[in-house]
Amino acid sequence: MRIVQKFGGTSVGSPERIEAVADIVRKATELCHEVVVVVSAMGDTTDELIALAHQIDPRPSARELDALMATGEQVSAALVAIALQKRAIKARSLTGWQAGVATEPVHGAARVSSIAAEKLEQVLADGEVPVVTGFQGIAGGEITTLGRGGSDTSAVALAAVLKADLCEIYTDVTGVFTTDPRLVAAARKLPQVSYDEMLELANLGAQVLHPRAVENAKQFGVPLVVRSSFTDEEGTVIVDGNNLEQRHVVTGIAFEPEVARVALIGVAVQRHGLAAVFTALARAGVNVDVIVQSVVQSAEVDVSFTVKEEDADLTLGIVRGLRDELGYRDLVCESGLAKVSIVGAGMISNPGVAAQMFQALADLDIPIRMVSTSEIKVSCIIPAAHMEASVLRLHAEFLESEARVAANS
Ligand code: ADP
Ligand code: ASP
Ligand code: MG
């Protein structure tokens, strides 16, 4: 059996943790598994490296930031290899480029474009454990990174290319929970969750898996497990939706702080300027999330959309620059917002779920600024000050109630 084992920042956060990781890898090799290890940077190293760059320049070049961030994973990969060698396990650390990970030529959030697996196959054939730096690759000779949390994606991409039988994501929680267990003490570990639900949860802010890791795992059929490097407890298996009996309506709750809403009031319909705004934002690398357009009068519409708070100034600059083209009357920006989402495959056949969510928020007197839905999720944009309270309430409403327990039993 061939497995990829990925260890996150906390799991390699100290020499002691690295020794513990080496013990987990040793166990797998003793079971005669062919093991490929993927590591994140130690603890908060990536944050610290970024802060270091910002001390010199608040807007460092994307190329150098990638070159800097990529060093974090190199430290942990070499240390894990050393810890394995100490245990008489042949191991070799490899950077992204040494492992053949090619990406798009983009800095900061590059997608993996291909992986030349020969090098890793050779290392495995030599009976060595490759310890690969997550989060990084190479494009035209330049070091690139895959976006924050991207080591999960490195692991899944390697598992897909190497046709691994399993990709294990080792982290600091025992699996995927109904919501972030750091915020909600009553959160429960899910024994299994479907790729689609996991993709929504990850995209909507559940940090436990990088969204593109789930996307790739689904696309390439990589069996994925999330588990803890601190205990032996069984983790969460990410499964094909078809295997799931959809007994529960809501599977999990995700949340994302630091959202800003930009509203263009009185946009002249006949000018067709909206495409120009969203094209310009996309070119500037601004991710637009929820978009709502409403007709006020036949000749005018109001358009509002959300962006990350950190992109709000850039967004306003772009929208102001297009004022003539758009012909809007007023421009409003509201920051200090958050997005709270409920996710569950069972929602498709339960139209009352959105209403129940709105009522729960209304009971707490929480104003809802925007709503966005898909077949398996409902998201509300609310003031960030109410985020925690709303998550606690929604968890109690959908995931702790008697009715749900009865329905699931
Ligand atoms: P790693 O460094 O191992 O990649 P992350 O910090 O990226 O770890 O992800 C694990 C964290 O994700 C957990 O500590 C937890 O606080 C957070 N998290 C958010 N939502 C969930 C969820 N639904 N289930 C489990 N953990 C979650
Ligand atoms: N070290 C990188 C980060 O902190 C990648 C990862 O941990 O997955 O974002
Ligand atoms: Mg992570």
Alpha carbon distance 84, 7 (integer Å): 14
Alpha carbon distance 100, 17 (integer Å): 27
CB contact set of 83 (below 8 Å; sequence gap of 6+): 18, 19, 21, 22
Kindly give the number of the ligand 2 atom that is closest to the alpha carbon of 72: 1
Query: How far, in Å, from the CA of 206 to the mean position of ligand 3?
Result: 10
Q: Which of 2-11, 168-177, 250-259, 400-409 has the lowest mean pLDDT?
A: 400-409
Query: How far, in Å, from the CA of 365 to the mean position of ligand 3?
Result: 34
Position 357 scores a pLDDT of 97
Residue 142 one-letter amino acid: E
Ligand 3 (ion): residues with CB under 5 Å are 8, 149
Position 324 scores a pLDDT of 85
Q: How far is CA 158 from CA 57, 106, 114, 119, in A?
A: 35, 20, 10, 12
pTM given for the model = 0.93
340-377: per-residue pLDDT in tens? Answer: 999 998 888 787 999 999 999 999 999 999 999 999 99
Q: Is 180 in the pocket of ligand 1 (CB under 6 A)?
A: yes
CB 307 within 8 A of CB 315: yes
Position 207 scores a pLDDT of 94
Instruction: Please report the sign of the dihedral spanned by the C-alpha atoms of residue 219, residue 220, residue 225, residue 226.
Output: negative
Q: Which residues line ligand 2 (CB under 6 A)?
A: 8-9, 40-41, 46, 72, 134-135, 148-151
Instruction: Tell how far CA 399 is from the center of its chain.
Output: 22
Tokens representing 133 are 């730096």
CB 45 within 8 A of CB 12: no
Q: Which residue has the higher pLDDT, 401 or 36?
A: 36
Decide if pLDDT at 409 tops 80: no
Alpha carbon distance 187, 206 (integer Å): 13
Q: Is 252 in the pocket of ligand 1 (CB under 6 A)?
A: yes
Q: Which domains are delineated in the chain?
A: 2-242 (3.40.1160.10), 253-408 (3.30.2130.10)
Instruction: Please report the sign of the dihedral spanned by the C-alpha atoms of residue 108, residue 111, residue 114, residue 117.
Output: positive
Alpha carbon distance 282, 200 (integer Å): 21
CB 201 within 8 A of CB 236: no
242-264: per-residue pLDDT in tens? Answer: 544 556 789 999 999 999 999 99
Helix (H, G, I), strand (E, B) or coil at 191: coil
Share of the chain above pLDDT 70, in %: 96
Decide if pLDDT at 125 tops 60: yes
Kindly give the number of the ligand 1 atom that is closest to the alpha carbon of 177: 24
